[in-house]
Structure formats: structure tokens, C-alpha cells
Structure 1
Amino acid sequence: MCYSAMIQADYQKFVRHHGAIMSLEDFARNVWAAPDRARKRRRPKAMEDWLRLSDEPRAQQIWGEILRQRAERELELQEELFKQKRRLADAERALLTKTTKKAEEDRRISTDKIGKLKIDLDDLQRVEPKVRDARFFPGNYAPVIVIEDGRRVVKPMRYQCRLPGWTEAVERKYPRTYNARRDSLGKAWRELFGVRHGIIVLTSFYENVEKHNLEHRDLAAGEESQNVVLEFRPEPVHDMLVACLWNASPEGDEELLSFAVITDEPTPEIAAAGHDRAIIELSARNIDAWLTPEHRTHVELGEILDERPEVAYQHKVAAAA
């Protein structure tokens, strides 16, 4: 599974290296969603900054709406920060007279939440980029390259694919459709494989592994399994062109764009790190062939997925998100 990943954050590099332009109207629809849906649409800060840095008048209009939404979000965060500071103060007063489990838990939880809220508030105002700005998780939106009217276009899509015919209720029963297993492409994914192909450009990806698997040992008697998040980066360093499937689904009077990353059996070094799946990185020369699957057989598409760059994925324990 691809637990989360880092997008290529530099838009000018994105355009220069991959020849794709933003579909500003799709970005506009993504940002100007109905209020109840807009709150659910989380995007990497780096992707929003593409609009801030653009000279296009339409991009600046969209950026203005993002700023308005950020101002609303800031008020919500300030209210929650006040609430947690009051909770912390109450817990500390209680602990001056008597040590209780509840007061200790309230102090611990409120302290953790205050720290996270301060980071979130700083992110809303901060202009200088940080590494975490490029990271996205399942349920977040990320930039996916597709072919539209004969050229490469970048569209914001949710990282969790809603399959054809599914409703939101059906989707809730299958929460892991952010990954499409290669051995299921002709089955569960048959309506999208060979029909709607995309590419996402990543600089690294993250996976959950069990600590004892990473350490190549069995669990000791009475030992509980512990989770570790690993960050994988390609060696040699380069932008990874990762194969995706995507869909456009009706959502009320709007359209939901969503995608899944295709995964395969792990490479030797990923398996050695304790994980059982791997992204499929495409050869640069096959980008357009992958993005135009019409009239190609599944055998031909399989050959495209098989032709991958010579790369090793080095890992390290990831810093906190």
C-alpha cells in the first residue's frame, strides 16, 4: 500500500520536465466546492502555492478563495486552541491539589493538541516552503497528469478512487481504494484499466511496516507488534512517474475526480524493509502511451507497466508528519 507520498512541489520544474499545464477550471471547481464538501477537500500546501505563484488572473482568483477559506480555518483553530489551553489550565490546577488519572490525561492530551494546533496555525500564514508541504495522505487531493484534448494536463484529484457506479455509501465500505493491485486490474479495476489512466509525480513515498519485520525477526513471547513508518526515496534521485487509474463520479451537482496508485509485488529492497507492495514507476518514454490507453490491449499495457527505470528505493524511518 502507498500510505502517503510527497509530490513534486516545484511547479515550474513540473511544467519544464513533464510538459503539463494546470487545468485551472478543475482547480476552481475543487476549491469552490459546496461548503459542506469544501471542508473535506484537503490539498498539500505546496499544490495551493502553485496558484499563489501563478501570474494567471484565473489562478489569482482561485488563490483569493483559498485565502478566504484559510481565514475561516484560522478562526476555527484559534477557538480550538483557546479550548485546549483552558483544558490544560484546569488540569494543572487540579493536579496541584490531587493527582488523578483524568487530570493527567487531560494535561497530556491538551498539551499534544496545543502543539499540533500551533503548527497548523503557522502553516496557514507561512510563505517559506517546508518539506511537509508536499505530503498527501488518503482522502487528500493531489495533482494527477492526464491527457485532455491531446495535451498533458494537471488536475486535482482525491487520493481514494470512487469506482464507476459507486455511491459515497458504497465507498465507505471499501476505504482502501487509494491503491489498485496489479493482479486486480482486470477484475475489480476493469472499468478503469485501459480507459482512464493518469500519472502522479512523486519524490518519495511512505509505507507502514511492522517493526519486527523491519528487523527480520519473529515477535518475542508476549511482545505486541509495533508499527513503523518508512520513507522510501529512489536512488539515483529523480522524480518518480507513478502509474495511476482515475475516475470522474457524479457528486450531487458536482463531479468528484479521484484516483488510485497502481501497486505490484515489492522490489527486493522494499521486501527486505518489511513491506509487501510497491508502486509502479513508469519509464519516461512511455508516459504518453500510458496516458492514451485507448485501442491498446491489456498485454500492451502490461508491457508498459513492466518497463521500469533501473532504480533502488532507499528507506529511513520517517519523521512525524
Structure 2
Amino acid sequence: MCYSAQIEADYRKYVKMFGAAMSLREFAELYWEHGGRELKAPMAMEAAFSDPQTDDEHRIQALIAENNALRATKFEQELFKQRARLADAERILETKTTKAATESRRIALDKIDAAARRLADLKRTTLKDADSQIYPGWYAPVMIVQDGRRVVVPMRYRCRLPGWTEQMEREKPGTFNARRDNLRRVWGKLFGHNHGIMVVNRFYENVDQNGKNVVLQFDPQPAQPMLVACLWSRTTIPGEPDLWSFAAITDEPPPEVAATGHDRCIIPIKPEHLDAWLNPNPSDLAAQYAILDDRERPYFEHRLAA
């Protein structure tokens, strides 16, 4: 499965590369709906709106700024709370070493570090490679076709299948990937109907090596943006904005990935198949399987993730 990926998070790149339009409503609802709650979105996706050029971009930039201000207040409150906790624990430890005070001190230090890092990230303006990285449950731009045009929509990287409830989703948290050999059975309501593309520059996997879990980074050679085949779903939730979610399709890995001990790999489709993939004919699934089989096949170099 694709544990994590470094994506093209700037929707403007999709506009330039593919002539896609931004789905203003979905971007705006994403930030409006979270309203200061922790939003799992790559910083690079938000940074794309830091220099707004249109009225729509100004609206989204304002929502992002408002959301980040609320989040900053939350982190500052957490810092105050944990620093008070730390001081209390250290006062106790000055006179007597207790297990409870030692543990409280450890937890406070960890939470202070986490809150300080998140607060610093909100204020940082220079992007790092990690600012384009997503994990299951995070939001990412996905290109789909709506009403005959290519549109970029922010979607959660874990698909809620049609008919599923939130509880059913929690019981099956692995739906951020869709196995090619399960497309008809498990994903039949989406395969041949709701196809999308996520642009990925590299991906990461958890691999067991000598009984120890390590995270490997896989880079395509030559370096290139990969058009990763995805399936997506739109779930209507009464009283809330619709939930847009997606999964990356995976298949048996190429030899160099299999040699590392991993048994799955994302599927980058060829640019010449883009229109056919985004506009599937549900009566001709063989054509969609043919696109997945006639994929791009870069060589994947790997190394331990930083």
C-alpha cells in the first residue's frame, strides 16, 4: 500500500499542466467546515493561496488565514497548559522523585514540543519537501472531470465507499488504497464511474527488514511527476458539507520495489490515457484495465526516509 506520498499540492500546477479549474466551493467548505479544528492538509496546498490573484483565491486565502489564526490560539493555549503542568511536576520532583511526577513531566515536555512545532509551522513561509507530503486521512488535490471539464477538488486520502457510515469506515481504515485485483468486487461502485488523478513525485512505504519496521522513500528515475490512478467518492452528510474522499489504486510491485520487501505499488498512468481514464465507460471496464496495465514504468530508486 502507499503509506505516504509527496504530491503536487499546488492546484495552480494542475491548471497549468492540464487546463483544470479549481473547485472553489469545495476548497472553501473544507476550511469553513474545520473552523480551527486540526485540519490534516499539506502546508503546500495552503501556500498556493498565499498570493491570491482572483476574488475566489482571495476568499479562500481569507478562510485559510482565519482557520490558522484559530489553530494558533489553540496551540498557544496548549503551550500555556503544558508549561503549567511541567512546572507543577518539577516542583514535586525537587523534593521527591515519584513515578507520577516523572511521567507528567515527560508528557508535558512532549506536548510542549509538539505544540511549539505546530505553531512554528503556521508562521513559517518557506516551504520544505515535507510540506507536500500526505498520509492516510490527509487532504490532497485530486483532478476529476465534472460536467465535461477537468476540476481540482480537495479530497481526503481515505475513501468512504458508497453506502458506508462513519462507523463502517472506522472498522475498515485501509481504504486509502484500492487493490487492482479487487476493483470489480470491493470497488465496483466507483471503478468505471469515479476516476481521478493525484500527481505524485515520490512515495513512501513501511517495510519489514530483519524484523524491524523501516520507512523507505521511492523516487522514480528519471525524476518525473506521476499521474497516479485514483478512485473517489462523494458522501452526502446531513447538516454538513459533503465529504470528498479518494483512494490510490495499487498493484503488484515492479522487481526493484519487491526486492525491498514491499508487495504493493501505486499505478502511474501514461499522459496519453488521461482523458480516457478520467472519462470512463462503465460498460467497457476492459478498456480501463488496459490503461492500468499500459502504465508508466519508471525505475524506483529507494533509500531510508529522512
Report the TM-score when normalising by structure 2.
0.93
Residue 142 of structure 1: how far off its partner (Å): 0.6
Residue 200 of structure 1: how far off its partner (Å): 0.3
Does residue 299 of structure 2 align to residue 312 of structure 1?
yes
Matched AA of 2:137: G
Does residue 243 of structure 2 align to residue 245 of structure 1?
no
- Residue by residue over 1:212-260, the C-alpha shift from the partner in whole angstroms, topping out at 9 and shown as x without a partner, is 1xxxxxxxxxxxx432122211111011110000011111133111101
Q: Which runs of 5+ in 2 are unaligned?
A: none
Aligned to 1:219: none
Which structure 2 residues correspond to residues 109-148 of structure 1 after superposition, within 5 A?
109-148=107-146
Counterpart-to-counterpart distance in 1, 2:152 and 2:186: 26
Aligned to 2:206: 208
Is contact 2:37–2:71 with CA below 8 Å preserved after alignment?
A: no
Counterpart-to-counterpart distance in 1, 2:11 and 2:70: 27
Residue 156 of structure 1: how far off its partner (Å): 0.5
User: Compared with structure 1, are the counterparts of its residues 96 and 40 closer, same or farther at alpha carbon in structure 2 (3 Å cutoff)?
Assistant: closer
- Residue by residue over 1:258-287, the C-alpha shift from the partner in whole angstroms, topping out at 9 and shown as x without a partner, is 101101112211111121111011111111
Secondary structure, in 3 states, of the residue corresponding to 1:128? coil
Counterpart-to-counterpart distance in 2, 1:10 and 1:259: 18
- Residue by residue over 1:104-137, the C-alpha shift from the partner in whole angstroms, topping out at 9 and shown as x without a partner, is 3333332222222111001111222122211111
Counterpart-to-counterpart distance in 1, 2:74 and 2:212: 34
Secondary structure, in 3 states, of the residue corresponding to 2:301? strand
Matched residue pairs, number?
Answer: 305
Counterpart-to-counterpart distance in 1, 2:150 and 2:47: 20
Q: Which shifted more, 181-190 or 273-282?
A: 273-282
Residue 301 of structure 1: how far off its partner (Å): 0.7
Matched AA of 2:49: L
Which structure 2 residues correspond to residues 232-311 of structure 1 after superposition, within 5 A?
232-253=218-239, 254-294=241-281, 297-311=284-298
Secondary structure, in 3 states, of the residue corresponding to 2:281? coil
Residue 10 of structure 1: how far off its partner (Å): 4.4
Aligned to 1:218: none
User: Compared with structure 1, are the counterparts of its residues 276 and 146 closer, same or farther at alpha carbon in structure 2 (3 Å cutoff)?
Assistant: same
Counterpart-to-counterpart distance in 2, 1:12 and 1:113: 36
Aligned to 2:87: 89
Does residue 16 of structure 2 align to residue 30 of structure 1?
no
Secondary structure, in 3 states, of the residue corresponding to 2:160? coil
RMSD over equivalenced CA pairs, Å = 1.8
Secondary structure, in 3 states, of the residue corresponding to 2:97? coil
Report the TM-score when normalising by structure 1.
0.89
Residue 98 of structure 1: how far off its partner (Å): 3.4
Which structure 2 residues correspond to residues 36-51 of structure 1 after superposition, within 5 A?
39=37, 41-51=39-49
Counterpart-to-counterpart distance in 1, 2:148 and 2:189: 22
Residue 95 of structure 1: how far off its partner (Å): 3.2
- Structure 1: 4+ residue segments shifted above 6 A: none
Counterpart-to-counterpart distance in 1, 2:129 and 2:113: 18
Aligned to 2:18: 18
Is contact 2:42–2:132 with CA below 8 Å preserved after alignment?
A: yes
Aligned to 1:153: 151
User: Compared with structure 1, are the counterparts of its residues 233 and 26 closer, same or farther at alpha carbon in structure 2 (3 Å cutoff)?
Assistant: same
Does residue 65 of structure 2 align to residue 67 of structure 1?
yes
Q: Which shifted more, 85-94 or 199-208?
A: 85-94
Matched AA of 1:277: R
Q: Choose the corresponding residue for 2:212, options 205, 226, 242.
A: 226
Residue 40 of structure 1: how far off its partner (Å): 5.7
Matched AA of 2:225: D
Q: Choose the corresponding residue for 1:180, options 170, 178, 181.
A: 178
Which structure 2 residues correspond to residues 159-178 of structure 1 after superposition, within 5 A?
159-178=157-176
Matched AA of 1:317: L
Residue 56 of structure 1: how far off its partner (Å): 1.3
Counterpart-to-counterpart distance in 2, 1:12 and 1:159: 20
User: Compared with structure 1, are the counterparts of its residues 317 and 92 closer, same or farther at alpha carbon in structure 2 (3 Å cutoff)?
Assistant: farther
Secondary structure, in 3 states, of the residue corresponding to 1:52? coil
Q: Which runs of 5+ in 1 are unaligned?
A: 213-224
Residue 11 of structure 1: how far off its partner (Å): 4.3
